[in-house]
């Protein structure tokens, strides 16, 4: 069985954002030992956005994590961002390494770390890059696999953006990890609700959503005194709160042994398949109309994109969606894709001197 796979989910990684002191690390480990976590985490080197904030205690903190292993029997994990971090981690018997979001975004840096791990049998967790790019995330994972790392897991910690303040610190953009799982079905995906939400009172909600989507594990920052934490204070929860969260989690199965439910699902899927076929047929018909409209616009010397028409589509389709209890945001996103494809088709016609309107 892979390191990150458990017969009963979830695989739980927990511990403070930063290893602030020997006492803090050991006391937190003592509290988390009773929560039955699978892996104790603590930041040793902290890549902060701006200078002047707490950036970790460095190599000395590795000795504290060694004590966690010796005293409490908990496997330990740290973030590494430089080849020398890997060397020091191995000298201190760190069990698992993780690659941070700021590192994953740079393929050159990832490759240097992967090269430094050749010949080392250590599990690696790769956080998603800060920008929502599934290929970049997958590429980082593949670099470690090609370096001979047998146990690799992905950590979904959300994606940075410039959107206005919302429920999330980092937008989860759930389709990205879903697509990663589609491409790598055997890959373990661990959700980091601490970084996704940035707020401790929202961590449980996102953790449950991750379980509902079939994720393999959770990475949750836990601190004995979260409000006084030296980094990411707002998103850390106490060990007691973590225990409550895990106890209340609803763990769902991918399959059911109930034959009647399986048959019902199969029937519903067949109906859905038929509807999908109709949708595709209708989209093909719509694109035929778009092509003919492009020919008319070409003959009339009109632009492909007409803002007033697009605004009409947005308003009328949104209203119809609202009447049918569909999400307005979903329908607008869908029609943005349809409209983009339609405009692309019309532009190709406007630029093609060989096409004329069929009389």
Q: Is 203 left (phi over 0), alpha (psi -120 to 50) or beta?
A: alpha
Residue 279 sits in the same domain as residue 146: no
Residue 240 sits in the same domain as residue 285: no
Q: How far apart are CA 43 and CA 61, in angstroms?
A: 9
Residue 241 sits in the same domain as residue 287: no
- 183 falls within a domain: yes
Residue 113 sits in the same domain as residue 222: yes
- pLDDT of res. 162: 65
Answer with the one of 248, 268, 289 that is the final residue of a domain.
248
- 187 falls within a domain: yes
Number of domains in the chain: 2
**What are 133-154's pLDDT values in tens digits?**
999 999 999 999 999 999 999 9
Burial (CB < 10 A; 0-12, 13-18, 19+), residue 154, is buried
Q: Looking at beta carbons, which pairs linking 85-91 to residues 24 or more positions away fall under 8 Å?
A: 85/44, 85/45, 86/113, 86/116, 86/117, 86/120, 87/116, 88/59, 88/62, 89/62, 90/120, 90/122, 91/62
Residue 199 sits in the same domain as residue 73: yes
- pLDDT of res. 163: 56
User: The dihedral of CA 269, 275, 278, 279: what is its sign?
Assistant: negative
User: The dihedral of CA 227, 233, 237, 239: what is its sign?
Assistant: negative
**What are 102-134's pLDDT values in tens digits?**
999 999 999 999 999 999 989 999 999 999 999
Residue 315 sits in the same domain as residue 178: no
Closest C-alpha among 284, 281, 298 to residue 342: 284
- What 3-state class would DSSP assign to 235? helix
- 310 falls within a domain: yes
- 135 falls within a domain: yes
Q: How far apart are CA 119 and CA 156, in angstroms?
A: 27
Closest C-alpha among 149, 140, 126 to residue 219: 126
- 2 falls within a domain: no
**What would the two tokens of residue 35 be?**
């929560």
- pLDDT of res. 78: 98
Q: Which residues contact 94 (CB under 8 A, 6 or more apart)?
A: 62, 65, 76, 77, 78, 122
- pLDDT of res. 153: 98
- pLDDT of res. 52: 74
Element (H, E) at 219: strand 217-221
- pLDDT of res. 167: 82
- 55 falls within a domain: yes
Give me the CATH number covering residue 50. 3.20.20.70
Answer with the one of 182, 215, 248 that is the final residue of a domain.
248
- pLDDT of res. 359: 47
Residue 141 sits in the same domain as residue 16: yes
Residue 244 sits in the same domain as residue 284: no
Show the low-confidence residues of the chain (pLDDT under 70).
1, 162-165, 354-359
- What 3-state class would DSSP assign to 187? coil
Q: Which domain holds residue 287?
A: 259-350
Residue 75 sits in the same domain as residue 209: yes
Residue 171 sits in the same domain as residue 123: yes
- 5 falls within a domain: no
- What 3-state class would DSSP assign to 215? coil
Residue 188 sits in the same domain as residue 283: no
Give me the CATH number covering residue 293. 1.20.59.10
Closest C-alpha among 244, 247, 250 to residue 201: 244
- pLDDT of res. 47: 74
Q: What is the DSSP string of 292-332?
A: HHHHHHHHTT--S--HHHHHHHHHHHHHHHHHTT--HHHHH
Answer with the one of 220, 248, 276 that is the final residue of a domain.
248
Residue 108 sits in the same domain as residue 83: yes
- pLDDT of res. 51: 79
- 31 falls within a domain: yes
- pLDDT of res. 53: 79
């Amino acid at each position: 069985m892979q390191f990150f796979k458990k017969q009963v989910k979830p695989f739980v990684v927990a511990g403070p954002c930063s290893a602030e002191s020997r006492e803090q690390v050991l006391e937190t480990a003592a509290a988390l030992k009773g929560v039955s976590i699978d892996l104790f985490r603590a930041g040793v080197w902290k890549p902060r956005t701006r200078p002047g904030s707490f950036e970790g205690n460095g190599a000395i903190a590795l000795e504290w994590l060694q004590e966690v292993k010796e005293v409490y029997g908990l496997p330990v994990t740290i973030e590494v961002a430089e080849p020398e971090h890997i060397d020091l981690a191995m000298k201190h018997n760190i069990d698992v390494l993780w690659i941070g979001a700021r590192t994953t975004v740079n393929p050159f840096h990832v490759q240097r770390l992967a090269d430094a791990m050749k010949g080392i049998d250590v599990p690696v967790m790769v956080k998603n890059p800060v920008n929502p790019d599934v290929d970049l995330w997958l590429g980082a994972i593949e670099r470690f696999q090609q370096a001979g790392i047998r146990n690799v897991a992905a950590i979904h910690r959300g994606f940075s953006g410039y959107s206005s303040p919302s429920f999330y610190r980092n937008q989860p953009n759930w389709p990205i990890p879903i697509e990663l799982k589609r491409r790598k079905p055997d890959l373990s995906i661990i959700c980091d609700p601490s970084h996704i939400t940035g707020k401790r009172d929202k961590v449980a909600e996102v953790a449950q959503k991750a379980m509902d989507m079939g994720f393999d594990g959770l990475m949750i920052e836990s601190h004995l005194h979260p409000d006084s934490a030296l980094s990411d204070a707002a998103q850390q929860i106490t060990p007691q709160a973590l225990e409550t969260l895990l106890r209340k989690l609803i763990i769902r199965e991918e399959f059911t042994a109930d034959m009647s439910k399986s048959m019902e699902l199969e029937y519903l899927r067949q109906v859905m398949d038929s509807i999908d076929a109709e949708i595709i047929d209708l989209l093909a018909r719509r694109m035929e109309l778009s092509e003919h409209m492009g020919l008319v616009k070409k003959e009339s010397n009109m632009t492909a994109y007409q803002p007033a028409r697009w605004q009409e589509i947005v308003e009328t389709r949104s209203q119809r969606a609202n009447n049918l209890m569909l999400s307005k945001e979903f329908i607008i996103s869908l029609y943005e894709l349809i409209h983009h494809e339609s405009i692309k088709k019309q532009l190709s016609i406007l630029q093609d001197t060989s096409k004329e309107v069929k009389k």
